[in-house]
Amino acid sequence: MQHFKKIVGFVALFLWGTSTHAAPQKIVSLNLCTDQLLMLLADPNQIASLSKIADDPNVSFLAERS
């Protein structure tokens, strides 16, 4: 049982250390609300895609930025 706890602890530390270093490279938005948040909060080079209606001025306040 003692060895099992050590192995679980080691694996947990290994997985925790590797997952915290990865940063998202590109962001994809799937609806209008997140489109607008993404355009306000992210740099343009971080945006991979927006929803189909992101450029519709009838529904999007930021249509000119999309």
The confidence score (pLDDT) of residue 65 equals 85
pTM to 2 decimal places: 0.58
The confidence score (pLDDT) of residue 21 equals 60
6-55 pLDDT per residue, tens: 787 777 777 766 555 667 689 999 999 999 999 999 999 999 999 999 99
The confidence score (pLDDT) of residue 24 equals 67
> What are the distances in angstroms from CA 25 to CA 3, 22, 52, 61?
39, 9, 22, 26
Task: Find where tokens 């450029």 sit.
Answer: 55
Contact between residue 32 and residue 66 where contact means Cβ atoms under 8 Å apart = no
The confidence score (pLDDT) of residue 19 equals 54
